[in-house]
Amino acid sequence: MNITEDERDAVYKTIFSRRDVRGQFKPDLIADDVLKRILTAAHHAPSVGFMQPWDFIVVKNKATKEKIKIGFESAHAESAAMFTDEKAEQYRKLKLEGILDAPLGICVTCDRSRNGPTVIGRTINSEMDLYSTVCAVQNLWLAARAENLGVGWVSIIHDSVLKDALGIPDDINIIAYLCVGYVSHFNDKPELEKLGWLPRRDIDAAIHEEKWSPK
């Protein structure tokens, strides 16, 4: 099946306009068929040994989200103390989540025991199942952007908070907690780039020919 030029351009547009959304969420509900499409896209990510180690917990309950928000606030304060004074002050001013703003959250997990201990492609690098689940997150994110939905990854939170709030067993790994919803707008640049936290690295600095070379 060939991809047409218009289809190709749409894929690149989706990639380049994807953003980590924190503060632009609207309360509009997401239709069940739209949610099913983005979760199905995530489920079609590549996975080592075709083990499909992921699961998706959809969170809509306000009380549950409030527990997660409290966990974020604690981890946020803990994280601020790790930066130098100037960066810590800038860090505290950043809005880094939309847990209560977004109409729903999606927790993406990885069951590392799925399909037994020996998995094709994981025999040497045991972390390939974790990387596979990250591919599912990326698929979900791009599918959501194609549906004009914003997604924000809440990484500043301890796994124990999510496991307690969502009843996740100890042997299941948490990969991501995502805030998902329609937004008022998408920023033209990533927010941290726009606010001067860090610049975008030049692509040529990331490309090496044949062997690693210092840039």
CB 54 within 8 A of CB 133: yes
As to burial, measured by CB atoms within 10 angstroms (0-12 exposed, 13-18 middle, 19+ buried), residue 173 is middle
Sequential DSSP letters for 11-53: HHHHHHH--B-SS-B--PPPPHHHHHHHHHHHHTS--GGG---
Report how far residue 151's alpha carbon sits from residue 22's, in angstroms, rounded to the nearest whole number.
8
Q: H helices within 147-202, ranges in order?
A: 159-166, 191-194
Residue-level pLDDT at 215: 73
Token couple for 122: 């994981």
List pLDDT tens digits, range 94-150.
Answer: 999 999 999 999 999 999 999 999 999 999 999 999 999 999 999 999 999 999 999
- pLDDT one-digit tens code per residue, 180-202: 999 999 999 999 999 889 999 99
| CA distance linking residue 79 with residue 120, whole number of Å | 38
CA distance 53 to 131: 10
Looking at residue 155, its pLDDT comes to: 97
pLDDT > 80? residue 159: yes
User: Residue 214 — pLDDT band, cuts 50, 70, 90?
Assistant: confident
Helix (H) or strand (E) holding 145: helix 128-146
156 three-class SS? coil
Q: How many CB atoms lie within 10 A of CB 41?
A: 19
Q: What confidence score (pLDDT) does residue 5 get? A: 98
Short-list 153, 119, 101, CA closest to 51: 119
